[in-house]
């Protein structure tokens, strides 16, 4: 089965840039989607199709995907960005299934 | 405004059954595929099941295959998850989510907690 690997935690100072990686075998050939989840809340889609932003998501959020790594980049980080972030793909190699990364806790120092 | 409201969660003994519902409003329910995603306490997200707009295609995670059944009633704008032979490891918040078929999930409901314990 397809596995997505994220770092458990990332820390960044306010105003700096945070980068959260998502590793997977040839993930560059798949479409990667990213979700933000704050404590006690449902996840919210922040990036789809590797780098597209849904309406209402700040331009500070961007994404890229190549080779074996996809990256969510948050520029000019704010305190309100502190949350868990999950990457997700669809694996259709053997059977259709959704796959989530283990999640990354973003801490704003 | 899109609204997804899950219900049906609660405490159930191992081996028991539970039926979750997700009431949808604010969009053309019959045109969208739907999913269930769960999150065990303090853990990450786990995809559970997907159903296409007309119920023609249904997929399950290996962890629930043969025990859970996803269904929908487009006339009632509702999504369901029948959960049988429940185990302690099924304890989680269960979210329903609208899907771009075989792509992303957006938006999500607020979730309903299922606790499997004796």
Chain segment A16-32, per-residue pLDDT in tens: 999 999 999 999 999 99
pLDDT at A94 over 80: no
Instruction: Look at residue B90 and give its three-state secondary structure.
Output: helix
Tell me: the pLDDT tens digits for B93-116? Answer: 999 999 988 899 999 999 999 999
Q: What per-residue confidence (pLDDT) applies to B102?
A: 86
- pLDDT score of B58: 96
Contacts of A103 in chain B (CB under 8 A): 44-45
Q: What is the mean pLDDT of residues B16-26?
A: 98
Answer whether residue B92 shows pLDDT above 90.
Answer: yes
What's the rounded Cα separation, in Å, for the pair B18 and A35?
A: 28
Q: How far apart are CA B62 and CA B51, in angstroms?
A: 15
* Residue-level length of chain A: 109
Q: Is the per-residue pLDDT at A95 higher than 90?
A: no
Q: Are A68 and A23 in contact (CB under 8 A)?
A: yes
User: What is the pLDDT, as a whole number, of residue B71?
Assistant: 98
Instruction: Please give the angle made by the CA atoms of B34, A69 and A87, to the nearest 5 degrees.
Output: 25
A43, B103: Cβ pair inside 8 Å? no
Binary contact (B62, A1; C-beta < 8 A)? yes
The answer, yes or no, to whether the previous bond of B107 is cis (omega within 30 of 0) is yes
What pLDDT is stored for residue B101 in this prediction?
A: 87
Min Cα–Cα distance to chain A from B12, Å: 23
Q: Does the beta-carbon distance from B45 to A103 stay under 8 Å?
A: yes
- Name the residue facing B61 among A42, A49, A97 (closest C-beta): A97
B34-81 pLDDT tens trace: 999 999 999 999 999 999 999 999 999 999 999 999 999 999 999 999
Question: What confidence tens digit (pLDDT) does each residue in A32-41 have?
Answer: 999 999 999 9
Give CA angle at A60 (A83, B99), nearest 5°: 65
Averaged pLDDT of chain A: 97
Tens digits of residue pLDDT in A37-81: 999 999 999 999 999 999 999 999 999 999 999 999 999 999 999
Q: How far apart are CA B115 and CA B112, in angstroms?
A: 10
Inter-residue contact B48 to B38 (CB < 8 Å): yes
CB contact under 8 A, B109 and A35: no
Task: Tell me what the pLDDT averaged over chain B comes to.
Answer: 97
């Amino acid at each position: 089965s397809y596995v997505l690997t994220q770092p458990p935690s990332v820390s960044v100072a306010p105003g700096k840039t945070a980068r959260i990686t998502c590793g997977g075998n040839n993930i560059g050939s798949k479409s990667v989607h990213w979700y933000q989840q704050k404590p006690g809340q449902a996840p919210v889609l922040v990036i789809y199709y590797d780098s597209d932003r849904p309406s209402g998501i700040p331009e500070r959020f961007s994404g890229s995907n190549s080779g074996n790594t996809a990256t969510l980049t948050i520029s000019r980080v704010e305190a309100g960005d502190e949350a868990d972030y999950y990457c997700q793909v669809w694996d259709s190699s053997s059977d259709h299934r959704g796959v989530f990364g283990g999640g990354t806790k973003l801490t704003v120092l | 405004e899109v609204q997804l409201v899950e219900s049906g969660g609660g405490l159930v003994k191992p081996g028991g059954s539970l039926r979750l519902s997700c009431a949808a409003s604010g969009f053309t329910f019959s045109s969208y595929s739907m999913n269930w995603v769960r999150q065990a306490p303090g853990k990450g997200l786990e995809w559970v099941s997907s159903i296409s707009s007309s119920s023609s295609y249904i997929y399950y995670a290996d962890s629930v295959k043969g025990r859970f059944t996803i269904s929908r009633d487009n006339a009632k704008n509702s999504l369901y998850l029948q959960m049988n032979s429940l185990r302690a490891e099924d304890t989680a918040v269960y979210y329903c989510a609208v899907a771009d078929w075989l792509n992303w999930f957006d938006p999500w409901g607020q979730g309903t907690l299922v606790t499997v314990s004796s």
